[in-house]
Amino acid sequence: MQITLNGQAHELTDPITLTALLESLGLAGKPVVAELNREAVLPRHFPETLISAGDSLEIITLAAGG
């Protein structure tokens, strides 16, 4: 199945939770902001948020610095 991840096509084998997707991308435990189909997803909802075929997901990593 295909989703759009940060504007690019991304293949997944099955529907997956946002938490599991972040883990597979190496972003587990890192501060991120996520938007699924143009709606913000709060971090506390990541484990229950299911990513399915055709979804559009934007993930932004937060970094401190100067």
6-22 per-position pLDDT tens digit: 999 999 999 999 999 99
Sheet with 39-41: list strands edge to edge: 8-11, 2-5, 56-61, 32-36, 39-41
The answer to whether the CB of 36 falls within 8 A of the CB of 26 is no
**Domains defined along the chain, listed by start:** 2-61 (3.10.20.30)
The answer to whether the CB of 15 falls within 8 A of the CB of 50 is yes
Confidence (pTM): 0.90
Task: For the chain, give the mean pLDDT.
Answer: 95
Residue 17 backbone dihedrals phi, psi, to 5 degrees = -75, 160
Output 63-66 pairs: Cβ under 8 A, ≥24 positions apart.
Answer: none
